[in-house]
Amino acid sequence: MSGHHLNDPRRSILARLAAATLIALTLGAAAAEPDNSGPAGMGAGACPVTLTPASVKVGGEGADNLVVNVGVAVGCPHDARRLDAFITVTAGATGVGNGTVTYQVAANPGAARQGAILIGGTRFLIDQAEKPPPRRTAFDFDGDGKADVGIYRPTIGTWYVLRSTQGFFSEQWGNSTDKIVAADYDGDGKADVAIYRPSNGTFYILGTSSGFKAVQWGSLTDMPVAAPRR
């Protein structure tokens, strides 16, 4: 009997479940579908983004894991593309809706510079300071910011220095009663081989860029302030 078939309660429940599932799927698809139209009044295809911060200043040494927040209407897709080689987008190259873009800025080898990332059609400007000055460290004979291993052998008045980047050098400069006073007297970032001779109160300096210099400044019982303690 067909009437019995139509009124089968099991079939009726299955049909209702199938219909409910179809409605849920349809609603889900509608919600997930990107809305590229943007906010009302902005015109078709307009998805303006708001970047926070709007721009940034970075030190000359560069930086990693920098983040810019992207504010955009729900469902709006956006991408991020660097416009300069010293910038790298490390995360968030594409996104939909609000999100973040993570990037890094390489160390600056020269003068101050400006670059940008194009995010959703808006330029995110990055101002980078110039190359930072080298770090100053005592007993750094090659100026790389790292102190170098060195000895002075009083018996023969000779320096033996193992520089961190430029290797070994030796210099006969001084005698057994001189005090070593290595420091950067000519300001080029590299320590200069130098001794103080108590007998005549004179500094004898081998400047890395200014060459030899003798400065009489002291007497027999004075102690040079640049000398290490003994």
Binding site for Ca ion (CB under 5 A): 140, 142, 144, 146, 148, 164, 184, 186, 188, 190, 192, 208
- Residue whose CB is less far from Ca ion, 81 or 135: 135
How far is the CA of 223 from the CAs of 13, 66, 185, in angstroms?
103, 51, 18
- Do residues 66 and 55 touch, judged by C-beta distance below 8 A? no
84 Cβ contact partners less than 8 Å away, ≥ 6 residues apart = 113, 115, 116, 126
By C-beta, is 79 or 144 nearer to Ca ion? 144
Shortest separation between residue 62's beta carbon and Ca ion, angstroms: 22
49, 123 contact by CB (below 8 A): no
- Give the CA distances from residue 157 to residues 3, 30, 99, 162, 180, in Å, rounded to whole numbers and listed in that order: 119, 86, 66, 17, 10
- Least distance in angstroms from the C-beta of 108 to Ca ion: 22
CB of 146 to Ca ion, least distance (A): 4
Least separation in angstroms between residue 213's CB and Ca ion is 11
Q: Which is nearer to Ca ion, 16 or 135 (CB)?
A: 135
How far apart CA 78 and CA 87 sit, in angstroms, is 18
CB-nearer residue toward Ca ion: 70 or 205: 205
Q: Which of 117, 184, 113 is nearest to 148 (CA)?
A: 184
For Ca ion, give the closer residue by CB, 179 or 190. 190
Task: Tell me the closest approach of the beta carbon of residue 198 to Ca ion, in angstroms.
Answer: 23
